[in-house]
């Protein structure tokens, strides 16, 4: 393991005003999103969509790294240029999702454990040879009456730590993603309490598995009220709850935190990230960035609808969201940024 190389990559991913673009939807998830819009669920359509994303003019101005899926990292542009080369030429660091999905956790009804550790060392070596410099693993924590259980939190935290250690051994920066889901009627306070408990467990296991904190990134949820909770806090209240929770649980050695969007609207995701950067500008040890999928891609996907003639307007919409989130990193996102 070359620790300095890991540290340099981790820092590069959250440097300046850029952030990550998650475009690592599994075939199943991608097909579900296509089906909703009447787009054919074929390899050719998925390839065309991913080509649209990575050839968006100016994308590299706002995006430092793109997270690919196994199918996507092996694909090429129509002219035969490998996707990995297209990204590198645009100044974007290629990354790869390496978990194999969240499965039912035995003995824990309604809870999930993320799988993918078996054979991971070999898969990481292959991805590194293909040009990936960082990886992602997502754990899912469901909130409910008596959920999450300690068993679910511990099992997922340990898997995240074992994944992270294997990534660093292979020279890839691990993006560690424990997602406390937004779905449900729970309050913001309940989300804060669980997010803190989960993050403390995750960093405990990262420490136990000897993960170099300087050479990793955290990809957490924002601290939010449940999507069906009657009380929805303001943007500033969400920003304060989120950063205060992270300050209690995330060591200062971690170079950056890149949030997932989790089903928030594009505008709210940008506004909340912006408020965190405005309100905690001089009171946080790590960069506060983004690693959004839906909150960058969704408008573009809806415009594209699988039509060649819609590629340019879809790319403009994607670039717009990327720019809005770059502005949010600087604390400069506002209604005017949204209009331009
Ligand atoms: P969303 O931003 O759509 O939540 O996706 C982030 C992600 O990468 C989920 O693993």
Q: How do residues 58-75 score in pLDDT, each as one tens digit?
A: 999 999 999 999 999 999
140 vs 38, 73, 160, 253, CA distance in Å?
Answer: 28, 24, 11, 24
- Band the pLDDT of 322: cuts 50, 70, 90: very high
Mutational test site, ligand 1, from 99, 293, 296, max ligand atoms within 8 Å of CB: 293
340 pLDDT higher than 90: no
3-state secondary structure of 317: helix
- Is the Cβ–Cβ distance between 176 and 131 less than 8 Å? no
Distance of alpha carbon 80 from alpha carbon 200, whole angstroms: 45
Going along 76-222, which residue ranges are E strands? 93-97, 102-104, 112-114, 134-141, 173-180, 217-218
20-24, 34-38, 334-338: range with lowest mean pLDDT = 334-338
Atom of ligand 1 nearest to the CA of 138: 10
Which pLDDT belongs to residue 293? 98
Q: How do residues 275-291 score in pLDDT, each as one tens digit?
A: 999 999 999 999 999 99
Q: How far is the CA of 138 from the centre of ligand 1 (A)?
A: 9
Atom of ligand 1 nearest to the CA of 292: 2
Helical ranges in 209-282 per DSSP H: 235-249, 266-279
Q: How many CB atoms lie within 10 A of CB 223?
A: 27
Q: How far is the CA of 177 from the centre of ligand 1 (A)?
A: 9
Q: How do residues 218-269 score in pLDDT, each as one tens digit?
A: 999 999 999 999 999 999 999 999 999 999 999 999 999 999 999 999 999 9
The two tokens of residue 76 are: 């090429």
What's the DSSP call for residue 215?
A: G
130: left (phi over 0), alpha (psi -120 to 50) or beta: alpha
Mean pLDDT of the chain: 98
Helical ranges in 131-173 per DSSP H: 150-169
Cis status of the peptide bond prior to 264, with omega within 30 of 0: no
- Is the Cβ–Cβ distance between 284 and 247 less than 8 Å? yes
Distance of alpha carbon 259 from alpha carbon 252, whole angstroms: 17
Distance of alpha carbon 39 from alpha carbon 52, whole angstroms: 14
Residues 6+ apart with CB under 8 A from 226: 143, 182, 183, 184, 185, 186, 187, 190, 191
Q: How far is the CA of 42 from the centre of ligand 1 (A)?
A: 22
Q: Which whole number is the average pLDDT over 101-115?
A: 98
125 pLDDT higher than 90: yes
Q: How many CB atoms lie within 10 A of CB 89?
A: 11
- Is the Cβ–Cβ distance between 222 and 271 less than 8 Å? no
- Return the bridge partners of 292, or none: 21
Distance of alpha carbon 116 from alpha carbon 138, whole angstroms: 11
CA 97 from chain center: how many Å?
10
Domain positions in the chain are 3-339
1 pLDDT higher than 80: no
- What fold characterizes domain 3-339? TIM Barrel (3.20.20)
Q: Which whole number is the average pLDDT over 166-194?
A: 98
The two tokens of residue 69 are: 């899926």
Mutational test site, ligand 1, from 139, 261, 322, max ligand atoms within 8 Å of CB: 261
Which pLDDT belongs to residue 285? 98
């Amino acid at each position: 393991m070359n620790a300095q190389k890991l540290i340099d990559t981790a820092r590069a991913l959250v440097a300046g005003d850029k952030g990550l673009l998650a475009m690592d939807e599994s075939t199943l998830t991608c097909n579900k999103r296509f089906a909703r819009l009447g787009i054919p669920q074929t390899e050719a359509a998925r390839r065309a969509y991913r080509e649209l994303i990575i050839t968006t003019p100016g994308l590299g101005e706002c995006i430092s790294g793109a997270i690919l899926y196994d199918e996507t990292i092996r694909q090429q542009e129509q002219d035969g240029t490998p996707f990995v080369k297209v990204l590198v030429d645009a100044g974007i660091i290629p990354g790869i999702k390496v978990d194999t999905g969240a499965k039912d956790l035995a003995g824990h009804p309604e809870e999930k454990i993320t799988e993918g550790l078996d054979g991971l060392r070999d898969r990481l070596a292959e991805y590194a040879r293909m040009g990936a410099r960082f990886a992602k693993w997502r754990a899912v924590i469901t909130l409910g009456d008596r959920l999450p259980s300690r068993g679910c939190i511990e099992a997922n935290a340990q898997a995240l730590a074992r994944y992270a250690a294997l990534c660093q051994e292979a020279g890839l920066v691990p993006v560690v993603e424990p997602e406390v889901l937004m779905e449900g009627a729970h309050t913001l306070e309940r989300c804060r309490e669980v997010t803190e408990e989960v993050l403390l467990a995750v960093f405990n296991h990262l420490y136990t598995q000897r993960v170099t904190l300087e050479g990793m990134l955290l990809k957490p949820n924002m601290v939010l009220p449940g999507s069906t909770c009657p009380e929805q806090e303001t943007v500033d209240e969400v920003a304060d709850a989120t950063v205060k929770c992270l300050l209690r649980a995330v060591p200062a050695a971690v170079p950056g935190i890149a949030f997932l969007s989790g089903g928030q609207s594009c505008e709210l995701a940008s506004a909340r990230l912006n408020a965190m950067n405005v309100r905690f500008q001089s009171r946080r040890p790590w960069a506060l960035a983004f690693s959004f999928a839906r909150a960058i891609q969704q408008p573009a996907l809806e415009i594209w609808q699988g039509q060649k003639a819609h590629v340019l307007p879809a790319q403009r919409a994607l670039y717009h969201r990327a720019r809005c989130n770059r502005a949010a990193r600087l604390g400069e996102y506002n209604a005017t940024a949204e209009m331009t």
